[in-house]
Amino acid sequence: MAAIDTGDTAWMMISAALVLLMIPGLALFYGGMVRSKSVLNMIMMSFSALGLVAVLWILYGFSITFGNSVGDAGYVGDVTEFLGLTTLVNADSVIGTIPAPVFIAFQGMFAAITVALISGSIADRAKFGAWLVFAGIWATVVYFPVAHWVFAFDDFVATTGGWIANDLGAIDFAGGTAVHINAGAAGLALAIILGKRIGFGKTPMRPHNLPLVMLGAALLWFGWFGFNAGSAVGSNGLAGVAFINTIGATAAAMLSWLLVEKIRDGHATSLGAASGVVAGLVAITPACASVNAIGALVIGAVAGILCALSVGLKFKLGYDDSLDVVAVHLVGGLVGTLMIGVVGVEVGLFDGGGTEQLVKQAIGAGAVLAYSFIATLIIGKLIDIVMGFRISADEEQAGIDVSYHAERGYELSDSSQGGLSGASKGA
Amino acid sequence: MKLITAIIKPFKLDDVKTALTAVGVNGLTVSEASGMGRQRGHVEVYRGAEYAVDLVPKVRIEIVVDDAEVAAAVDAIVKAANTGKIGDGKVWVVPVESIVRVRTGESGTAAL
pLDDT of A110 > 80? The answer is yes
Alpha carbons within 13 A on the beta-carbon side of A101:
8
pLDDT of A402 > 70? The answer is yes
What is the predicted pLDDT for the residue at A424? 66
What is the predicted pLDDT for the residue at A204? 84
Among B31, B34, B47, B50, the residue to mutate for chain A (most A Cβ within 10 A): B47
Q: Cβ of A324 and B47 within 8 Å?
A: yes
pLDDT tens string A34-43 = 999 999 999 9
Q: Cβ of B48 and A275 within 8 Å?
A: no
pLDDT of A1 > 60? The answer is no
Q: Which domains does chain A have, with CATH numbers?
A: 6-400 (1.10.3430.10)
What is the predicted pLDDT for the residue at A199? 93
* A chain contacts of residue B44, beta-carbon cutoff 8 Å: 206
Q: d(Cα A227, Cα A24) in Å, to the nearest integer?
A: 14
Residues of chain A with pLDDT > 70, as a percent, come to: 97
For range B43-70, the mean pLDDT: 91
For range B73-97, the mean pLDDT: 95
The complex scores an ipTM of 0.79
The answer to whether residue B95 neighbours chain A at the CB level (below 8 Å) is no
Give the distance from residue A259's alpha carbon to the nearest chain B alpha carbon, in angstroms: 12
pLDDT of A51 > 80? The answer is yes
Higher pLDDT: A64 or B43? It is A64
Q: Cβ of A207 and B48 within 8 Å?
A: no
Q: Cβ of B53 and A315 within 8 Å?
A: no
Give the distance from residue A416's alpha carbon to the nearest chain B alpha carbon, in angstroms: 18
Written out in words, the top-level CATH class of the domain with range B2-111 is alpha beta
- Residue A226: pLDDT band by 50, 70, 90 thresholds? very high
Kindly list the strands in the beta sheet with B2-8, ordered across the sheet, starting from the edge strand earlier in the chain.
B29-35, B56-65, B2-8, B89-95
- Residue A203: pLDDT band by 50, 70, 90 thresholds? confident
pLDDT of A152 > 70? The answer is yes
For range A148-170, the mean pLDDT: 96
Give the distance from residue A302's alpha carbon to the nearest chain B alpha carbon, in angstroms: 17
Q: d(Cα A148, Cα A182) in Å, to the nearest integer?
A: 13
Contacts of B21 by beta carbon, 8 Å cutoff, 6+ apart: none
What is the predicted pLDDT for the residue at A422? 66
Residue of A nearest to B51 (CA): A204
What is the predicted pLDDT for the residue at A426? 63
Q: d(Cα A401, Cα A419) in Å, to the nearest integer?
A: 20
Cα dihedral across residues A232, A237, A239, A245: positive or negative: negative
What is the predicted pLDDT for the residue at A125? 97
Q: What is the mean pLDDT of chain A?
A: 95
Q: Which of A269, A315, A324 sits opposite B45 (nearest CB)?
A: A269
For range A92-102, the mean pLDDT: 96
pLDDT of A419 > 90? The answer is no
What is the predicted pLDDT for the residue at B12? 95
Neighbours of A362 (CB within 10 A): 16
The answer to whether residue B43 neighbours chain A at the CB level (below 8 Å) is no
Q: d(Cα A152, Cα B91) in Å, to the nearest integer?
A: 73
Q: Cβ of B45 and A265 within 8 Å?
A: yes
